[in-house]
Amino acid sequence: MADQGDIDAITASVTKATTVEKSAEILINGIAARITAEVQKALAGGATAEQVAGFKTLAASLSDESDALQTAITANTPAA
């Protein structure tokens, strides 16, 4: 049978994992949003769609990675 120290250690591990996963999601989404905002500024400043195409692709890829992270977290989180 687990004692309170074991329960506290498990609780701390779960909290840390949850925090890390959420932080990664926020980071990925934040970077994608910043890239998208800069692309819009560049377009407004006269850049062509061809000049910013690579950045638009990068932002979309980051958003896809965030979606994949959320899917993996959901799939690997046991039901309560």
> HSE on the CB side for 64, CA within 13 Å?
6
Q: Longest C-alpha distance within the chain, in Å?
A: 67
DSSP string, 20-73: HHHHHHHHHHHHHHHHHHHHHHHHHTT--HHHHHHHHHHHHHHHHHHHHHHHHH
Q: 3-60 pLDDT, tens per residue?
A: 777 777 777 777 777 777 778 778 877 888 888 899 999 999 999 999 999 999 988 8
Asked whether residue 43 is assigned to any structural domain, the reply reads yes
Asked whether residue 15 is assigned to any structural domain, the reply reads no
Asked whether residue 11 is assigned to any structural domain, the reply reads no
Asked whether residue 40 is assigned to any structural domain, the reply reads yes
Asked whether residue 17 is assigned to any structural domain, the reply reads no
pTM: 0.62
Q: In terms of residue numbers, what domain contains 47?
A: 23-75
**Domain total in the chain:** 1
